[in-house]
Amino acid sequence: MTTFLRKTHPTTSRLFTTALLGAAVMGASAQTFAQEDDPIKVGILHSLSGTMAISETVLKDTVEMLIEQQNEAGGLLGREIEPVVVDPASDWPLFAERARELLEQEEVDVIFGNWTSVSRKSVLPVVEELNGLLFYPVQYEGEESSENVFYTGAAPNQQAIPAVNYLHDLVGVERWVLAGTDYVYPRTTNRILEAYLKEEFGVADEDIMVNYTPFGHSDWQNIVSEIGRFGSEGKKTAVVSTVNGDANVPFYRELGNQGIDAADIPVVAFSVGEQELTGIDTGPLVGHLAAWNYFMSVDTDANYDFIDAWLEHTGEDDAVTNDPMEAHYIGFNMWVEAVQKAGTTDVDAVKDAIIGVTVPNLSGGSAAMMPNHHITKPVMIGEIQDNGQFAVVWQTPSTVAGDAWSDYLPGSRDLISDWRKPMECGNYNVAENRCMGSDAEEALAED
Amino acid sequence: MWIPCYAVTTRIVTCLLMGLLSWLPMTAAAQQQDGQALLEALDTRSFDDKAAAIDAIIESEQSRADVWLQALLDSDLQRLKDDGRFVIALETAGLDVTIEDALTGEAMGEVSRRDLDRLTINNALRSQLRSAISLVELYNGDEDARLDAAEGLIGDVEEAQVEPLTNRLDEEPSAAVRNRLNQALAVYRLNQGDVDAVEVLAGSLNSNIRVALSRAAQSDDPLVVDAATAALADIEQNLKINRAAETLYFGLSMGSVLVLAAIGLAITFGVMGVINMAHGELIMLGAYTTWAMQQLLPGQPGLALILAIPAGFMVSALAGVAIERGVIQFLKGRPLETLLATFGVSLILQQLVRTVISPQNRTVITPEWMSGSLVVNDALSLTLNRMYVLGFALVVFAALILVMRRTRLGLEVRAVTQNRAMARSMGIRATRVDIMTFALGSGVAGLAGVALSQLTNVGPNLGQNYIIDSFMVVVFGGVGNLWGTLVAGMSLGIINQVLEPWAGAVLAKIIVLVFIILFIQKRPRGLFPQKGRAAEG
């Protein structure tokens, strides 16, 4: 059908009939065509106030920058792109309301947004009901695959598992501290990791210490001293940290002050990036690790161009870039490409067209959209440097495809996700040969 | 001077010093050629190859080897992309880097960081470099460096090192360093099955020694097992005492934070009876003042921090006056409306900071003299920044008590809160006293902000994390009683830290909250209720 459109000679009347024909065939509403000259609307759903503003504001700026760049390059399908920014104010139910507002009133063609898993879970029913598109740019716990959501951040097998492998194989770690903030992402990730450590490396129960702290925890004295004791029993110990957001600054300060050195007990973090380190003096933290799919220090021309554009956009010389920003960069370009491929911004057409789309990432490779709505990413381990940046010390030889359902949890082991026809299912059970639909959550909850 | 050479780690065979001091006279050109080759070997992706290259540099007779190793450790050793020359980054300003030639030390001006390739190292290489450098320092460093080097050897001594270390023992002037060297050698002997070594190690709290002893306690020789088990039991006992002392310190330190955050509220809420939900944001303003002072005085974080104490007090006090004049005075005697209005003010202040400054956290630098910790013994060290905050909290508390007890303002405040009408008829300007009291309470919140900037994030949400805790402390201590606030803050801190190790941080918080609710049921007026006629006011 798209080839048919392309072959048509560009005389006005024929173009019009073709368009009408195309519209009829694709089942797109007449309204879409009434807006031919109107801008394409892109919704941005990131908190600009409240606790999460610290992380999410830069993502809003990133999408705005990407839209500006696209418009300078001639827009999309010959139309201008217009950002529609709303502020869900770090309030989870408000995320759902704002998403509804974007889809129903503003009639946006796509939404880029969310940071925390709980906010994504709150938006999920809305985008599914109203058949919207959501690009979610943050690493998350997996165990989810929605027809309307594209996960451009890392699934656990693209971050947590490779990081643990690195520590075990190359650093020789035998004792593990799993420290996290008390909410769904750390709890699920730690459950996967605990199962993985026991299954793959035969780690004993007494060699795993699990610790949860509330959001914004600021008094880390006791926990850090306990980690120090746990790590001084003669076996090489590492901390796997899923501590989120603000709580990291006092955590790292306490590590530095109590003299826990990265050479003795390295801390590998999944939620600490360049942005989080801007609040800390990194001198005492040199050598602690983070696992991501992108670091600002990556040495490629694409990355330098991105950084230059970002510095210019923010007008700050010391602005930093981070992994979720790269995820938006990839997600935005994938969407643009899919829209061009489909020749329309119609949600169903874009959804079909985007699977298999490959765009360059910022680390010199490329990212492809998989049938399970996750993307391929390289996994990198970086060590903190004294200038607040990470130096990459290890990297997967090739990219890793995101796995929506973990292979290490009993309930999700048999599930796969494939949104291509004819399966079109986000949680197909290969053992029972059926699509679980909404049963999947209940089945998982029983475990 | 003859310097012994021995292996520090399995990799390092010859010691660095010998290489440095006795290098054979070579022509400068040959030196540079070799140097280039040695550095070339470092430019590889494999960290194992890098480790070998570092060993080669240590064994080489290059005059600048020590400079390279230090630069590599500091991630300053880089390579120019176009001509492949090795350079050392001296200073980074924005996107530009000032460099010098690594081989000759000749200054090369500024280049863009795009033109440079950094030679990265990982933790393993970092340890390798550090032990090479610290080994040199065991011989020619100052006392602290020698002590660190000797301590690093505990559990790491190898056969080839025993003799040179024993020789070093005779030359070492410092008793502390000798003690460490003795222990290091004793651990080696213990690992060889020497039962006499236990005597040297007994009573030491060093974790490497403990590990060595517990390994010995599981060996085959019954003599060694008995001696090691006895020594371990003794150490465990000693560790318990140290752990208790540590928990007490943690509790006092957490308590001091609670007291600092709550003490301003004890005045505005406790003494004046105003429920000020924007109290947390006044703390935040104090913290941002510290940041602003450090921006104004770049390179002098310590001085900026000290100047931030009066500045933070003034900024928050003025903000407090504005809130009192702008909102609270119109809502006198209507606590619910005051609560809602000040809550609104707190949201406005937060968003103001977000829009005007940034939603991101700001970096407040900890001055050198506040970082690190005071080492009491191997098992107990007290973090310095928290010790300063503890001291600061006590000083602020004492000053406030003095103001309330010994000054005219304090007298007037007490008079107005006890009986407003009577005080006015005695010629006290009650409105003026209101303003001054509120300014004092707010200013103290600003001081808390200055102190907290050294412990936690400086961001728009800073205040929110402390407002609930502050009210909790004031209510628990007894409204209107400054001593109550001190005792309540400290005891809540200690209870929390005692509970935390076995209940976890989340549960500990819940238990403390439940405890306070039950306590308030039993004694509604808190720990130290006000007595007499003032209580009815």
Those of residues 26-85 in A touching chain B at CB distance below 8 A are 48-51, 53-54, 57-58
Residues of B in contact with A385 (CB under 8 A): 75
CA distance A276 to A193: 24
CB contact under 8 A, B459 and A279: yes
Whether the CB-CB separation of B210 and B232 falls below 8 Å is answered with yes
Whether the CB-CB separation of A363 and A298 falls below 8 Å is answered with yes
Residues of A in contact with B210 (CB under 8 A): 232
Chain A contact for B250, CB < 8 A? Answer: yes
**CATH class of segment(s) A2-155+300-377:** alpha beta
CB contact under 8 A, A391 and B250: no
CA distance B386 to B20: 43
Helix, strand, coil fractions of chain B, as percent rounded to 5:
70, 5, 25
For residue A412, the distance in angstroms to the closest alpha carbon of chain B comes to 29
A378 has a pLDDT exceeding 90: yes
Looking at residue B111, its pLDDT comes to 86
SS3 A76: strand
Residue type, A272: V
Percent of chain A with pLDDT over 90: 60
Residue A428 β-bridge partners? A416, A435
Domain ranges of chain B: 242-364+385-532
Percent of chain A with pLDDT over 70: 90
Nearest chain A Cα to B209, which residue? A234
- Containing B126, the helix (H) or strand (E) segment is helix B123-140
For B150-195, the pLDDT digits (tens) are: 888 888 787 878 888 888 888 888 888 888 888 988 988 888 888 8
A182: exposed, middle or buried (C-beta count within 10 Å: 0-12, 13-18, 19+)?
A: middle
Distances (CA, A) of B508 to A187, A214, A292, B495: 19, 11, 33, 9
Looking at residue B533, its pLDDT comes to 53
For B363-372, the pLDDT digits (tens) are: 888 888 988 8
Scan for tokens 């000797």, then name that residue: B150
CB contact under 8 A, A221 and B350: no
B534 has a pLDDT exceeding 60: no
Give the distance, in angstroms, between the CA of residue A435 and the centroid of all CA atoms in the same chain.
25
Chain A contact for B381, CB < 8 A? Answer: yes
Whether the CB-CB separation of B62 and B53 falls below 8 Å is answered with no
For B266-325, the pLDDT digits (tens) are: 998 888 888 999 999 999 999 999 999 999 998 889 999 999 999 999 999 999 999 999
CB contact under 8 A, A279 and B371: no
Looking at residue A9, its pLDDT comes to 46
CB contact under 8 A, B363 and A280: yes
Sign (positive/negative) of CA torsion A156, A160, A164, A165? positive
- E runs forming strands in A93-227: 110-113, 134-136, 149-151, 175-181, 208-213
CA distance A434 to B253: 58
Q: How far apart are the first and last CA of chain A?
A: 47
Looking at residue B64, its pLDDT comes to 82
Nearest chain A Cα to B499, which residue? A222
Nearest chain B Cα to A304, which residue? B114
Confidence label for A3 from pLDDT (cuts 50, 70 and 90): very low
Residue type, A184: V
CB contact under 8 A, B456 and A256: no
A196 has a pLDDT exceeding 70: yes
Q: Which of B354, B456, B500 sits opposite A49 (nearest CB)?
A: B354
CA distance A140 to A115: 9
CA distance B156 to B462: 45
Looking at residue A445, its pLDDT comes to 54
Nearest chain B Cα to A221, which residue? B250
CB contact under 8 A, B123 and A263: yes
DSSP string, A330-386: HHHHHHHHHHHHHTS--HHHHHHHHTT-EEE-TTSSEEEB-TTSBBEE--EEEEE-T
Whether the CB-CB separation of A393 and A383 falls below 8 Å is answered with yes
Chain A contact for B210, CB < 8 A? Answer: yes
Those of residues 451-470 in B touching chain A at CB distance below 8 A are 455-461, 464-465
Packing angle of the helix pair B47-59, B123-140 (nearest 10 deg) = 20
For B197-242, the pLDDT digits (tens) are: 888 888 888 888 888 888 888 888 888 888 889 999 999 999 999 9
Strand pairing category for A376-377 and A415-418: unpaired
Residue B266, both tokens: 């004890």
Contacts of A120 (CB under 8 A, 6+ apart): A114, A134, A136, A140, A149
pTM (2 decimals)? 0.81
Residue A79 DSSP one-character state: B
Domain ranges of chain A: 2-155+300-377, 157-299+381-392, 415-446
Q: How far apart are the first and last CA of chain B?
A: 83
Scan for tokens 């220090």, then name that residue: A297
Chain B contact for A249, CB < 8 A? Answer: yes
Looking at residue A24, its pLDDT comes to 45
**Which fold would CATH assign to domain B242-364+385-532?**
ABC transporter involved in vitamin B12 uptake, BtuC (1.10.3470)
For residue A387, the distance in angstroms to the closest alpha carbon of chain B comes to 9
Scan for tokens 């007290």, then name that residue: B382
Confidence label for A447 from pLDDT (cuts 50, 70 and 90): very low
Chain A contact for B295, CB < 8 A? Answer: no
CA distance A284 to A264: 13
B275: exposed, middle or buried (C-beta count within 10 Å: 0-12, 13-18, 19+)?
A: buried
Interface confidence: ipTM more than 0.90: no
Q: Which of A214, A221, A281 sits opposite B366 (nearest CB)?
A: A281
Query: Span A157-299+381-392: which CATH code?
Result: 3.40.50.2300
- E runs forming strands in A75-222: 81-86, 110-113, 134-136, 149-151, 175-181, 208-213
Residue A347, both tokens: 């949600």
Confidence label for A440 from pLDDT (cuts 50, 70 and 90): low
Those of residues 221-240 in A touching chain B at CB distance below 8 A are 221-223, 225-226, 232-234
Residue A52, both tokens: 């999460």
For B120-129, the pLDDT digits (tens) are: 888 888 888 8
Those of residues 484-523 in B touching chain A at CB distance below 8 A are 496-497, 500-501, 504-506, 509
Chain A contact for B360, CB < 8 A? Answer: yes
**Three-class DSSP labels, B65-88:** HHHHHHHHHCCCEEEECCCCCEEE
Sign (positive/negative) of CA torsion B133, B136, B142, B148? positive
Average model confidence (pLDDT) for chain A? 87
CB contact under 8 A, B465 and A218: yes
Residues of A in contact with B121 (CB under 8 A): 391
Residues of A in contact with B504 (CB under 8 A): 211-212
Looking at residue B310, its pLDDT comes to 97
Cβ-Cβ pairs closer than 8 A, A with B, add up to 149
